[in-house]
Amino acid sequence: MMSQTIDGHVARKRFGQNFLADTHIIERIVTAIHPQVSDCMVEIGPGLGALTHHLLPHLNRLVALELDRDLAQRLRIETLVEGKLTLIEANALKFDIASLYDDRPMRIVGNLPYNISTPLIFHLLGHANRILDMHFMLQKEVVERMVATPGDRAYGRLSVMLQYRCQVDLLFLVPPSAFRPPPKVESAIVRLAPYAHLPYPCSHEARLHQVVTQAFGQRRKTLRNALRDEVPDHAWVELNLSATARPETLSVADYVRLVNWLEQHGTA
């Protein structure tokens, strides 16, 4: 399949480049973000600058991270609002987001390539104490997994780990026709707002990730069988949880209670 040229730029498949081109959708995104003049805004993957140019009039400063050198150079030339845009050529997966804006809390936006969206969000959550909120365009199926609740088919590791750290909301859907070239999947806008105070604090977050990953790695098994090496049988009774239930039936609070119990009782 031949590469598509968009406004003189050849869309690069390896970067997952699908450029947002629908002005109505862009305006809806800006309205949802509700940028304020003093916001410390960071845009990941500005691409051809469709969202960038709509955000700049609302801000004193916008920092943008762009991996594609050609796009970065083009955006520097085309940026009409002098002194407002700071463009950094960097891989967002490896960039230290905490190095921006001194110690001030940031707001992050972006149309994320589908192939890096999940690891990038977890990378950013490593600096959750510096982030007010994040608004991302993602594949609809990924967003559905993010917002799923216990009992839903889409509920899994991503649901638990993101909802542990953030309030997660699906804002609206975006059709393939809003992009050039159009992707083969439907997209959605999601808002993630890290909690200032966790509703269910966990005493060992790395272990929470381990337990949740192990549970959903064998989601067809009962909790007793999926977590046999982690959780002794009497724990289920003490926690009033069904050992014969499936992993997708436990809430975020349940998983946190389970891990806190394991830490408190010194289990391996």
Neighbouring residues of 126: CB distance < 8 A, sequence distance ≥ 6:
none
Q: How far apart, in whole angstroms, are the C-alpha atoms of residue 136 and residue 188? A: 8
Cβ proximity of 78 and 56 under 8 Å: no
Residues 33 and 137 in one domain: yes
Whether residue 200 lies inside any domain: the answer is: no
Q: Give the pLDDT confidence score for residue 80 in this predicted structure.
A: 53
Q: Give the pLDDT confidence score for residue 161 in this predicted structure.
A: 98
For residue 229, give its domain range.
Answer: 205-264
Q: How far apart, in whole angstroms, are the C-alpha atoms of residue 148 and residue 144? A: 6
Q: Give the pLDDT confidence score for residue 180 in this predicted structure.
A: 87
Q: How far apart, in whole angstroms, are the C-alpha atoms of residue 188 and residue 139? A: 6
Question: Within a 10 A sphere around the Cβ of 201, how many other Cβ atoms?
Answer: 11
Last residue within a domain, chosen from 169, 194, 219: 194
Q: What's this model's pTM, rounded to 2 decimal places?
A: 0.90
Residues 190 and 214 in one domain: no
Q: Give the pLDDT confidence score for residue 1 in this predicted structure.
A: 37
Residues 58 and 136 in one domain: yes
Q: How far is CA 154 from the centre of its chain?
A: 16
Residues 209 and 190 in one domain: no
Residue 17 Ramachandran class (φ > 0 left, ψ -120 to 50 alpha, else beta)? beta
Strands of 85-89's sheet in order across: 85-89, 62-66, 41-44, 106-111, 131-139, 187-194, 166-174
Mean pLDDT by 10 residues, the chain (268 residues): 42 58 96 98 93 94 92 77 82 94 96 89 95 97 97 96 98 95 92 97 96 93 94 96 96 98 86
Q: Give the pLDDT confidence score for residue 9 in this predicted structure.
A: 37
Q: How many domains does the chain have?
A: 2
Q: How far apart, in whole angstroms, are the C-alpha atoms of residue 41 and residue 63? A: 6
Q: Give the pLDDT confidence score for residue 2 in this predicted structure.
A: 39
Q: Give the pLDDT confidence score for residue 187 in this predicted structure.
A: 95
The DSSP letter of residue 163 is H
Strand, helix or coil for residue 23: helix
Last residue within a domain, chosen from 145, 173, 194: 194
